[in-house]
Homo-oligomer: A and B are copies of this chain.
Amino acid sequence: MLSATNRQIRLARRPQGEIAAEDWEHVTEAAAAPGEGQFAGRTRFVSLDPAMRGWLDDRRSYLPPVGIGEVMRAGPVVEVTESNHPDFRIGDLVVGTFGVQEHVVSDGRGAFRIDPTAAAPSAYLGALGMPGMTAYFGLLDVGALKEGETVVVSGAAGAVGTMAGQIAKARGCRVVGIAGGADKCALLTEELGFDAAIDYRSEDVRKALRAHAPDGIDVYFDNVGGEVLDAALANLAMHARVVVCGAISQYNSATGVQGPSNYLNLLVRRARMEGFVVFDYAPRYREAAREIGNWIAAGRIKVLEHVVRGTVDDFPRTLQMLFRGENTGKLVLELL
């Protein structure tokens, strides 16, 4: 049976710079029952993603901003508890943009069932979910990755970064990861098969890139922006591709985004910098999931997750971990 209440995290006001506790509202409302053609579900895992920061700002982007007073947008894994929908049965595990709340009611639009025998449910939020798709299409389509090239990934220990680096390895590239801290760097080279790792907190990234990619970077997959992006731009190979996936170092900046002052190297190196939004590739998710699934099954890609166990009330502080670099791999909040 559904519990009678539904705890939710709503956006109370727009953050200025870093997100503050007061930017959220913790609300308890009555749990709704599913109507005709609907199902109800209990949230099992909530996805936490750097992109969420952008959804909180009031500006034109690839999705409308989350409205003040609205349930925070998120893509959780939900277990169906009650169903009047022909395609969803009790016990099914479903992924969709259900928001940060304990209980959901859905007509099934944009929701899809996952197969928990093929992979852990939470993997559908990471390696087989948006981060995996982002890494896959960003590298292979936007980055036009070719076997034997030198690939550099920033935010390399994050959800997208761990996947991007491993996909590049699986495709026969030399891969250098940039991450914060010795532990993350050791993980990249010792566990995930990266050829080298650079600790941006303790190393001069520009010099380290010159050492680890002496012939220049063919594909730079950027998750962080800022100084690290500039260091990569200073080390491009001819005809390099810079994939603009994100800029986590800049999202909380109250003074505005720092533009890459080395962008004129795009000219010198006949290179391009290109952005993308993973949703555009939805018609090809199945193709990507199949290939990633095969790599996982073959042991060529390891699924790295950072699972925090708690309640929806832990969402705000868990989200902060992303911007403080406290997670390794895909950050997930598992609801107890």
Contact = CB atoms under 8 A, between A and B. Distances in A.
Contact of A259 (B262, B272, B276, B277): B262
Interface stretch (A85-93, A161-169, A196-204, A263-271): A263-271
Interface in A243-288: 244-247, 250, 256-277, 280
Nearest to A51: B267
A261 B258 contact: yes
A270 B275 contact: yes
In the complex, which range does the number of interface residues on chain A fall in? 20 to 34
Contacts of A260: 259-260, 263
Nearest to A272: B274
27 contacts: A60-B268, A61-B268, A62-B267, A230-B259, A244-B264, A245-B267, A250-B264, A256-B261, A257-B262, A258-B259, A258-B261, A259-B263, A263-B273, A264-B275, A266-B273, A267-B275, A267-B277, A268-B275, A268-B277, A270-B275, A270-B276, A271-B274, A272-B272, A272-B273, A272-B274, A272-B275, A273-B274
Interface of A: 60-62, 225, 230, 244-247, 250, 256-277, 280
